Amino acid sequence: MKIHVKFLATIRQIAGVPEIELEIHPGDSVGAALQALQARYGTTFKEATTGTTTGGIPKVRFLVNGRNTDFLEGFETKLEDGDVMVLIPPVAGG
């Protein structure tokens, strides 16, 4: 099955494209999709999407169909065919 992945800000720069279709397996979670992306885009991408910054802020947050996965099941959030997953690095505005 396929999901739609969108990259924002610096993660878009690293990926080199704003969005892709990603083939995943039925039952795959956000964590599994991230691993697939890290395998596809290499070390810099992996570094930019793993762990937290010096101040303890996560390097990436995920939206699935508009919902922050922190309020779903986190990395365990199950994905379904046609889902939209967005990767957001730490940014802010006002």
Specify the stretch interacting with another protein by CB under 8 A; choose among 20-28, 30-38, 55-63, 73-81.
Answer: 55-63
* DSSP 8-state secondary structure symbol assigned to residue 55: T
Contact 87, 50 (CB under 8 A): no
Single residue of 1, 6, 20, 35 touching another protein by CB under 8 A: 6
Single residue of 42, 44, 53, 74 touching another protein by CB under 8 A: 53
Under the binding rule (CB under 8 A), the answer on residue 54 touching another protein is yes
Under the binding rule (CB under 8 A), the answer on residue 61 touching another protein is yes
* DSSP 8-state secondary structure symbol assigned to residue 29: B
* Contact flags string 21-40 toward another protein, x per CB under 8 A: --------------------
Give the number of other CB atoms < 10 A from CB of residue 37: 20
Instruction: Please state whether beta strands 67-68 and 19-23 pair in parallel, antiparallel, or not at all (unpaired).
Output: unpaired
